[in-house]
Amino acid sequence: MDFPLIFKTMPLPVLAFALPLFGAAAYGLLILYNDFIAQWTRKPVELPRLCCKLPFLLLLCAGALISALIWKYASGASDQLYVFTGGGWSDVLSPESGKKMQAALRVDAFGATSAALMSFVALAAGLRALAERRKPITPRVIMLFLLACAGIQGIFFLNNLLSLFFFLMITQLGVTGLYRGFYARRARRRRRHLFYYLSRLLLLAMFLAGAMILRSGYGSTNISVLASVIEPSRASLWAFVLLVVPLLYIFVKPSPLLDEAAKNCFFGIRTQATLFIVFRVVFSLYGPMRGLQKVPLLFMMLGVALLFLALAVLSKEPEPSNFMDSLIFCVKGAILVSMGVAMDGSFSAERAALYGVDAIESMISLWLVFLPLSAAFAIVTVFLKEPDGKGAELWRYGRLFKRFPFVSSFLLLLVAITAGLPPFIGYEGRQLLLRSANFISPFLTLLLFSLTAAIFFAALRFVLALSASGGEGDGEGDFEGVHAALLPIFLLLLIFAAATLTPGRIFADSVSPSVESLINRTVPRSLSPAGRDG
């Protein structure tokens, strides 16, 4: 195997997840040496802080640049297929390359748009981690960040269920290290960690079982190939349940709030990536299969339940973490309802023309808004819970607009975007959702509007009270490091501003091509079983 030729012909999507993976391996080798080998050599490698942080920043910047280039080439264009043979990568399909193919990579507008957005948000989260003073970033945390980035990038660019399982496992390793760590000294914490590990292993095992059921029945785990041959059967329906349910659990379950904003941002990125796979399975793989007619109603019921949960959480004690969870539940609920309406609209050409296309555009539009929103809420919430020297949190001092007008205005903007107020980003998705839901039932439209309005006014009341009224603390407080949140907030504000000022271009370059690529269930002949047999 000619390794120089392989790297020379490596396409940009492979490079997008290979770079952070190699970076994580390099930091992992450094940690391995210091933790084990240095015990015998007694010569640990102590990197200067700049030498530790700079490669991490360069890898994040390179990932954002590569993903932006992929999005530029993929938006508005047909899907690009890369085939790997023993001689390297090639984007030229032929019967000969189909026979020698060892791996295939299908890049479409949906995956490219998702990867570009994720890379930009990961860059903002990385800058927030690099600016942290109370808990300076360490090589171990950098390795876990890069591991999660590599796994999520692979999810966005791969079209094979087994490959998706592999990168899901990589992502889970990174997130588990950021959240729980891999070892606890106390027995009580070890028991809690063991339950967490077993639950995540069970979710991954369920996904793997669903993929293996399809492989045993149809001889492939490639989503495009399966979409062309899958038939309604009990095994196919069981595979659907095993593939979708564990990922929906990860998406619906609220992420833990840690005192490091960057880690919370990566939890949001992982949450969005799991729903990306659900979209692939539901729309690209199964489509309007007989036997799934009741599934859209389940999605809509789950989405409405999350909206009620959002209102209930916001009605509890007014506190930043409750505020964040409530508005994130609000966005998740709207996405699931739009997903149910879109799936219902795919069962006939008449439904698709009336409301199916609008619903899937609403689903993708809201889903693209979810990631920067969740990252912004995580950064602002950790900012508001910043303790002073006496242990009092920043939000308890009140008068946020007087002390931090930029953050207070940004918080109002986030509430407006979540509620879908014009002219901000999110308005188009909300309007398309209400219009398409009206074809299902006018009561559903009224319920969605009423719940969203109630959540909006409750959230607005909290923000206005936080910004204008006095709090429980005395004086102004002495907070260190709160200005480290301003740069990532500014970067996220750029995303919201660009999408708000050019909504038509966002739809033309991102949403509409993503809809087309998501519902495209065709397979190139060179990848089909007949084509590979000649």
Given this model, what pLDDT does residue 452 score? 93
Residue with tokens 């397979």: 523
Would you mind telling me the total number of residues written for the chain in this entry?
534
Distance CA 172, CA 144 (A): 10
Tokens of 102: 């060892």
Neighbours of 462 (CB within 10 A): 21
Q: In the 3-class helix/strand/coil scheme, how is 265-332 assigned residue by residue?
A: HHHHHHHHHHHHHHHHHHHHHHCCCCCCCCHHHHHHHHHHHHHHHHHHHHCCCCCHHHHHHHHHHHHH
Report pLDDT for 222: 86
pTM of the predicted model, to two decimals?
Answer: 0.90
DSSP 405-426: HHHHHHHHHHHHHHHT-TTSTT
User: In this predicted structure, what is the pLDDT of residue 151?
Assistant: 92
**Helix H segments across 441-507?**
442-468, 486-501, 503-506
Cα–Cα distance for residue pair 341/319, rounded to 1 Å: 33
Q: Which of 121, 108, 215, 189 is nearest to 495 (CA)?
A: 121
State residue 1's pLDDT score: 47
How many other C-beta atoms are found inside a 10 Å radius of the C-beta of residue 457? 13
The structure tokens 């095993």 sit at: 242
Range list of H helices, 9-101: 12-32, 38-41, 49-74, 95-100
230: nearest Cα among 204, 277, 239: 239
What is the domain partition of the chain in residue ranges?
1-107+136-157, 289-520
Mean pLDDT per 10-residue segment, the chain (534 residues): 57 88 92 80 78 91 92 70 71 59 76 90 89 82 92 90 93 83 56 78 94 93 87 93 94 82 85 92 89 92 95 84 91 95 88 88 91 90 78 75 84 91 87 93 95 93 81 52 75 86 76 81 52 42
Predicted pLDDT at 32: 87
The contacts found for 3-7 with CB under 8 angstroms, 24 or more apart, are 5/87, 5/88, 6/88, 6/89
